[in-house]
Amino acid sequence: MSNINELISKSNIPNFQILKLKSIPKTQNIILLKTNQKNEILIEILDFENNNIKQIFLDEKLTKIYDFHPIDLVNFHINCDYNGNSNCQIKVNSCGKIIFKKQFEAEHFALNFKHILKNYIFREDMVLLDLDNFEEYNITDFFIDNFDDEYSFNYLYFEHRYDIFTLPDDNIIGFEIYDKDYISNKIYDIDGIERKFYFIILKIISPTNINIIFSGKIDDCGFNYTINKNFKEIAYRSSLYKSDDNIQIRQFSLDNFQNAEILTKDKSSKIEYFDERIIIFKKDNILEIFDRKIDNSLKFIEIDEFSSFIFKNSLLFYVKNYQLNFISI
């Protein structure tokens, strides 16, 4: 614990503020994206195992930064405005040099939400952008070959007929999809009609190697989807039939998927993380640590309102006043 305090103390240098807080799975590293009043950008890697800090200063100026994502410990993805161009996807190496730059076409930027995974960006027109080489791969055929007879992906595009949720560090992406008969027959709120929703969970090994982790159907849908870190369960706010104060937690098992663990929680609290032991809710700038086993809140932690946090080895790392802090949970 002492080396963690020491590294964090060294990291919290004056004049630099933390923009993003990230980590690499299965490593003892915390990765920070920082900036100062001169708009200089610093990537900082805190290595708790070896008790050292590596600093990477970018050799070019970036303007507005939308997202930051460590692909590994030597390659970093940044979504930003750069060199007069807006919404660029750039790749930075461990020397701070920009080695790739990609800008989505204007119509794609306007029409598609994008979901950043560990090695890919998924666009909702079924395109994967590989962060290794910035090549685009259309994976529509995968969905048609594996699901179209039952799920009919012809109904999906740009109609708000499916929700997407991810476990980015593991290249896992999930979909909640309306039943095709529900859509085609325009069955909305007719008594006696059972509405079904399909849940599909995929692990992307490569654009040509995608594993189906789970596929199941229930008569419930929702929002604020979160997959637990062992991708054994999904939690969400129910919006069909039940109050959206209810949180459903379902196991990714056909035997148990229908049977939900139900929690009741103020709908303004968003689920940010959960595992077998705890759930972390966020409301404005407050994190609430909730114990699933005793159905009780353990701690309330104030953080910077738009900042992220990392829960790693029972330690919660968070940003307060643009500086790094941690607490044991």
- pLDDT of 186 reads 46
Give the ranges where the chain is alpha helix by DSSP (H).
2-11, 106-111, 140-151, 180-184
pLDDT, residue 243, reads: 66
* Mean pLDDT, residues 267-290: 91
Pairing of strands 296-302, 309-312: unpaired
Question: Taking CA 121 as the corner, what is the angle to CA 116 and CA 125, rounded to the nearest 5 degrees?
Answer: 120
Q: What pTM was computed for the model?
A: 0.86
Q: Radius of gyration (Cα) for the chain, nearest Å? A: 21
- Alpha-carbon span 34 to 306, nearest angstrom: 15
**311: number of CA atoms within 13 Å, CB side?**
16
- Over the stretch 197-236, which tens digit does the pLDDT of each residue have? 888 999 999 999 999 999 888 878 888 899 998 889 999 9
CA distances from 210 to 41, 119, 171 (A): 35, 13, 10
pLDDT score of 302: 96
pLDDT per residue as tens digits for the range 32-49: 999 998 888 999 999 999
- The helix (H) or strand (E) run that includes residue 103 is strand 98-103
d(CA 295, CA 204): 34
pLDDT at 126: 83
Mean pLDDT of the residues in the chain:
84
The predicted pLDDT at position 184 comes to 47
**Residue 158 vs residue 7, higher pLDDT:** 7
- For position 76, what pLDDT does the model report? 95
315: CB partners within 8 A, 6+ apart:
4, 326, 327, 328, 329
Closest by CA position to 92, among listed 45, 147, 126, 125: 45
Q: Is the dihedral of CA 142, 145, 146, 151 positive or negative?
A: positive
Residue 191 has pLDDT above 90, yes or no: no
